[in-house]
Structure 1
Amino acid sequence: MSLPTRIVHETYTNPATGEPAEGRVILTPIPLVWTDTAGETIYPGGGEFVLDWAGQWSHALGRTDAPGVEPAEGRYWHYEERLKGLPARERVFALPVGDGGPISIAKLVAADPGAAVYTPVVGPQGPPGDTGPAGPRGADGSNADAEAYTNGAIASEVARANATYETPAGATAKVAAHTTASDPHGDRAAAASALASHGAATTSVHGIADTAVLETQAGAQSKATAALTAATTAASSALAAHEADTTSVHGIADTAALETAAGAQLKVNVHKDAVDPHGDRAWANTQFYSAAAGDALDGYLNDAITRLAAVEGGTAFLAGLNTTGAARVINTVLKVEGASGTVRHTLNGAANTAGFYGASPVSQPTVTGSRADGTALSSVLAALGNLGLITNSSSAGIAAPWRQRHLPDPVTADALYAGAAPSISTAPTTTPTAGYIKYAPAGVALAGSDVTGPYTYAGAGNFAIGATSPDTNYVLPLSKYPNTYASGQGVWSVEFGTDAKDFQVRMKYISTATMYRLSIDGRKVTDLMQSSGGITAGSGHLITFDLGSTGPRRIRLDFATFPFGGVYLPPGATMWRVPLQGGRLMSFTDSIGDGSAQNTGAGCGTWVDRVGRFLGSTDVWRQGRGGTGYITAGSYATFGDRVNADVIAWNPTRLIILGGYNDNGGSQSAISTAATSLYSAIKTGLPSCEVYVIGCWAPTGSPAASIVNTDNTLKAAAAVAGYPFISPVTGSVYDSTGALVTTHGPWITGTGRVGATTGTGNADTYIGTDAVHPTDAGHVYLARRITAAIRELMPA
């Protein structure tokens, strides 16, 4: 379930200097594990937060009064302050729904267990709570317990069988006695007695009153022979009289006129040798025309001629036909059939249509389209398929594959903006400079001089406003699992063209995670994502950008946790829509593409955006979810469960899949099955998508066997699917057939990390303090490695 949250925040000032305090705060849920009523673990939030430059922190925490959460009672938050130059303090507080808005920690902390005057008071006992969920399954018994139970069950069954059934020796003795007995069942003696009685009976046998009067067998045979002799003599006499009679036999007045057998045979021979006894051979001959000297009938007509010639008298018949010319069918249908009568080919002269290999006849097809873009080839294949001349089993393939020669120069593609740095400031207000016109996102209600802005969104879709104020003034995309306003797509981009010198961007500040990156004319102003400068969590702010001069420019803003409320332009300035380029590049990953606490700017700060720039794509979709994988759902869903909604539905041109690290402790068979199913779904749903599979992430130069095995499992599944594969473990690159293209070497070397370096490899710099996720420098490095591998797989 999705846990209802509420934003908690605070600002600290160093009492000694009056400046913003430095330090950190730690929030821990009590108890540590919260679950829903089904026993599934819920992540309530919390963690360690470093104060920002203004001495602030802000975070969304799970409400302690949220319904449907276990334990139903006794849920609190433990709060620790670790501020520079100040004593450490701890608090325990409840977080109710209240008015639902952001709340200061000072308003929640009502008691200080460390204070001298603190007196805990125990309230009255509350009513008993609901029965909790069933506890975990007990531990399995020992082998000795299982063996004792099994032995007991076997002994019990043996005793029952011995008491019920004969022993083998006893059963064998009884079978032998039964076999040798003359009458084991007593029925043989009874049958013999009944047979003797039947033979002696003379009355009432089979319904005959007195069998003594019946004929003997010898007497019956004698009488039958005498009857047969008399019948034969009478028949011979009748036949002779019939043959001698010449009138009124079978209704024929004079049988003397009938043909003799010899005469009938003579007339049959004359008829069959006649050239045209019925006059139809002359007609048939007119149906065939001679085309050219030397031509002959073919196909089944030749077979028919051969068979006619074999018939007695057939040669004379064929002599009356013109068999030297080609056969012609006039204004009708000619069908060529197989031995079983199945129609193979059809030529319809009347309709001027044709069909081959069993296809229905069609008119002469017309080929359309351009040979340049491949549409003409598609039209030809369709035409040949309609005629039946081919079975078109070709796949759609990749219509316009990336080519190396089409890629931008990597030096300039990822370069910083070379113009004068703009002036940027943030204010906690939603009131723009007087006279400015609001270009609102589609969906936001307009008022006064407001207009809907011609924005081009990149990296996301399905934009919606919030359900209640102030969220009705801001849009967020819902195009990533779980596809809700509060938990949908956290990172995305917007582009527009303008000739304004100044513009103001409206946002709702959420927390220090609310960040952005500005790009001008395709060049980023800063390499990493920047703090939005928000002050009050949950409130609207305006970020003012002063570009220094008027002039047409292409503006791009990459957002992270940034509800977007539109742009304000001064009167006289214009805004126009700008197209995206390079196709839609999508990453489908775990946290290695989704971002972590080890890098800046969440998913906008990983290798994904940089690879998009290197490959010339401005529509970069970051569809990663941390903690997920092929068989691991984490706090979200497995790759297979979310591929339809998060990937296939958005029809990417190119797709990079990276996962497996969160699965490597599981069954390799299960990983293989899940990967095969995922690739098959993508192959079916996105037949023209250019797909690259990256194997299991290895954050060390000495990966565990489970990581190596997972990498190999994914490589095999990719080859079966016909997808190219890139191994982070070895740096090897394989084409879509599974053949090795090249090897670039392992991505990560050494066994160190930031904060625990070993001096043995690049992991000292590229792997963060958690020993798993890349740092900002690590993501810069990964972008180069991934781009280099993909380029190896591209045509020139």
Structure 2
Amino acid sequence: MSADLLARGIGARAHAVARRSARETAMRAAAAIPLGTLPCFTVAASPPLITATDAAASTISAAVRVTATNACFRVTGTPIVPVAADPSTYGASDGAGGTGFTRPIQWEWMSDAAQVELLVLKHNALFDLFVDGQLVQDGAFATPATGDRRLVKLDWSATGDPRRPRHYRLAGINLLFGGLYLDAAGSAWFPGDSARRGLIAILGDSYSQGTGAPSVARTWAAAAAAQLQMDAWSDGVGGAGWNSGGANVPALRVAKGVAALTRAPDLLVTAMGYNDFAADAPALVSLRTRYDACLAAMRSAWPAARVVTLGPWTPLGPTTALGRVKAALIEAAAAHGAAFLDIENFVGVGNRSIYTAADNVHPTAAGHLYLGRRIGQAIAEALA
């Protein structure tokens, strides 16, 4: 190996170590943040005028098109591929050559345009839009599955500073995003690596999918990431557990999702176990085998990431059955050198009426925020 290559290799490793050290310092600092309002759960006081139009042509005069493949976008998710029905529109891939649109994806960019139009192909999309870290409306945006276009226009003209540079973040599922239209004087550019935050990638169940959350991007995962001053990518599947079969085998989910991410995660979090509550002794042995394969797949894809395993959710409080699952996960995490986070008493008899919905299983909107804030703090403390 040449001296030049050796020096570059040493430099790259030093940069990675410094980056990881900075992330962990930020997490330790985040653990001490008071449990006040999270900006990303808050609607902006002066949002733009929002209108939606079902049309192929822009409603902005002399509009400039910015395609979804433009270098101004930072995409967090699995790789994007063209949608066959509309070559000018792009959506999320499942990381295996297909188009599994239920996986989450996030688009970010900067723009000084006074008028911005988002181009979305209607495919049962659910998404939230954040500007400078705050929501532009309380509820999620939604589209039917008709396959035609929808234009979502943001007009800042009536605000006091319509051309102020703003950071945009579009986060959702089933999101076939085709890029932007801008007014003729507007421009869009990349958010910048220097402003990039760390990334948490989560493999979970219906909690991580967002059941009970007020909108698609206001889940416990989003709250935990915000508490840690990081971004979240959360792959949640309703009813999934460590012993799920078919496409929901954890290691297979990692291969199609976590391992194919467009950004390197700093933290990998497994958040399953509740749906394994009926596991007998052989099923607990199987759980361990599935866990081993899952962590092997995660570490093969992202060897520099830290791994955290959550114990099972306790929506009504601890139970004997969930206690057995927790014990199995504690043992498995220890064998892999992963941090284990015991969340058993976060929800119990005293607070379950506040944080658990009427179905006695899923969190309420308040439950998502509560669990996320507590879990974010606990992760920071566990990795300190």
Question: Is 1:438 aligned to 2:65, yes or no?
Answer: yes
1:427 aligns with 2:26: no
> What is aligned with 2:14?
375
Choose the corresponding residue for 1:402, options 24, 35, 46. Answer: 24
Whichever residue aligns with residue 568 of structure 1, its letter is Y
Partner of 1:93: none
1:463 Cα shift? 0.5
Q: CA distance change for structure 1 residues 785 and 539 in 2, over 3 Å: closer, same or farther?
A: same
Residues 421-466 of structure 1 deviation map (CA, whole Å, 9 limit, x = unaligned): 2111112212212311111112xxxxxxxxx4621112x1310122
Deviation string 1:702-731 (CA, Å, 9 cap, x unpaired) is: 42x2211001100111011111101221xx
CA change 1:570–1:579 in 2 (3 A) is same
| Contact residue 401 and residue 690 of structure 1 kept, 8 A | no
* Offset, 1:412: 6.5
For the residue of structure 1 that corresponds to 2:107, the secondary structure is strand
1:636 is paired with a residue of what secondary structure? helix
- State the shift of 1:575 in Å: 0.9
Contact 1:599 1:776 (8 Å CA) reproduced: yes
CA contact (8 A) 2:128 2:215 kept: no
Q: Deviations over 1:209-260 (max 9, x none)?
A: xxxxxxxxxxxxxxxxxxxxxxxxxxxxxxxxxxxxxxxxxxxxxxxxxxxx
Per-residue deviation at 1:749?
A: 1.3
Kept after mapping to 2: 8 A contact 1:423/1:545:
yes
Q: Quick check: 1:640 aligned with 2:239?
A: no
In structure 2, the residue matched to 1:699 is 315
% identical equivalent positions: 23
Is the 2:127–2:173 Cα contact (8 Å) retained in structure 1? Answer: yes
2:147 alignment counterpart: 538
Q: Confirm or deny: 8 A CA contact 1:628 1:636 kept in the other structure.
A: no
Q: Is the 8 A contact 1:417 1:520 kept in 2?
A: no
Distance 2:271 2:110 in 1: 34
Equivalents in 1 of 2:181, 2:325: separation in Å? 51
User: Residues 668 and 542 from structure 1, CA distance in 2 versus in 1: closer, same or farther, beyond 3 angstroms?
Assistant: same
The structural deviation recorded for 1:525 is 3.3
Aligned to 1:169: none
Distance 2:354 2:38 in 1: 24
Is residue 2:39 matched to residue 1:414? yes
**Structure 2 counterpart of 1:456, from 56, 74, 88:** 74
Sort the Cα spacing of 1:747 and 1:520 in 2 relative to 1 into closer, same or farther, 3 A. same
Q: Report the counterpart of residue 720 of structure 1 in structure 2.
A: 335
Query: Aligned-pair distance for 1:787?
Result: 0.9
Q: Is residue 623 from structure 1 mapped to residue 240 from structure 2 by the alignment?
A: no
| Structure 1 residues 335-388: Cα deviation after superposition (integer angstroms, max 9, x where no partner) | xxxxxxxxxxxxxxxxxxxxxxxxxxx9x9x98579999639x9xxxxxxxxxx
Greater share of strand residues, 1 or 2? 2
- Equivalent position SS for 2:185: coil
1:766 aligns with 2:383: no
* 1:673 counterpart = 2:289: yes
Kindly provide the amino acid, as one letter, of the partner of residue 204 in structure 2: T
1:500 matched to 2:113? The reply is yes
**Structure 2 counterpart of 1:584:** 199
Matched, 1:687 2:303: yes
Structure whose alpha-carbon radius of gyration is higher? 1
Query: CA shift at 1:405, angstroms?
Result: 5.1
Give the conservation status (yes or no) of the 8 Å contact 1:368–1:375: no
Aligned twin of 2:98: 484
Map of 1:251 onto structure 2: none
C-alpha distance in 1 between matches for 2:366 and 2:287: 31
Alignment partners' CA distance in 1, 2:45 and 2:154: 14
The 1:510/1:720 distance shift into structure 2, 3 A limit, reads same
Is the aligned partner of 1:525 residue 2:136?
yes
Alpha-carbon offset, residue 793 of structure 1: 1.7
Task: Verify the 8 A CA contact 1:369 1:375 in the aligned structure 2.
Answer: no
**Cα deviations by residue, 1:486-516 (Å, 9 ceiling, x for unpaired):** x3344322111111111111112334xx333
Shift in Å, 1:677: 3.2
The residue aligned with 1:154 is none
> Contact conserved, 2:110 with 2:191, CA < 8 A, in 1?
yes
Distance 1:770 1:370, change over 3 A: same
Q: Which residue of 1 aligns with 2:123?
A: 510
Secondary structure class of the residue paired with 1:473: strand
CA RMSD of superposed structures (Å)? 3.3
- SS of residue in 2 equivalent to 1:507: strand
| Number of equivalenced pairs | 367
Cα distance change, pair 453–541 in 1 and its aligned pair in 2 (3 A): farther
Alignment partner of 1:601 is 2:210: no
Whole-angstrom distance in 1 between the partners of 2:238 and 2:43: 31
Q: 1:567 to 1:639 in 2, by over 3 A?
A: same
The DSSP-based 3-state class of the residue aligned with 2:129 is strand
Deviations 1:634-678 (A, max 9, x none): x73211223233223434221111111222222212112222332
Distance in 1, Cα, partners of 2:21 & 2:314: 34
- 2:265 is aligned to 652
Alpha-carbon distance change, 413 to 673 in structure 1, aligned in 2, over 3 angstroms = same
SS in structure 2 at match of 1:748:
coil
Residues 503 and 570, structure 1, Cα contact 8 Å, conserved in 2: yes
Aligned to 1:783: 372
> Which residues of structure 2 form unaligned runs of 5+?
none
- Counterpart residue type for residue 429 of structure 1: A
1:783 Cα deviation (Å)? 0.6
Q: Cα distance, 1:768 vs. partner?
A: 2.0
Task: Answer yes or no: is the 8 Å Cα contact 2:223–2:376 preserved in 1.
Answer: no
Amino acid in structure 2 at the alignment position of 1:437: V
1:682-701 deviations in Å (ceiling 9; x for gaps):
34443321111101122112
Q: CA–CA distance in 1 between the matches of 2:298 and 2:252?
A: 12
Larger relative contact order, structure 1 or 2 (CA cutoff 8 Å, min sep 6): 2
Bigger Cα displacement from structure 2, 645-654 vs 624-633: 645-654
Would you say 1:748 and 2:347 are equivalent positions? yes
Q: 1:721 to 1:546 in 2, by over 3 A?
A: same
Query: For residue 466 of structure 1, what is the amino acid of its counterpart?
Result: V
Q: Deviations over 1:108-131 (max 9, x none)?
A: xxxxxxxxxxxxxxxxxxxxxxxx
CA gap 1:491/1:372 in 2 versus in 1, 3 angstroms? closer
d(CA) in 1 for partners of 2:153, 2:38: 27
Amino acid at match of 1:677: A
* TM score, norm. by length of structure 1: 0.42
The 5 A counterparts of 1:57-72 are: none
AA aligned to 1:687 is P
1:735 alignment counterpart: none
8 Å CA contact 1:520, 1:555 repeated in 2: yes
**Rounded Cα–Cα distance in structure 2 between residues aligned with 1:712 and 1:728:** 12
TM-score, length-normalised on structure 2?
A: 0.84
1:159-198 mapped onto 2 (5 Å cutoff): none
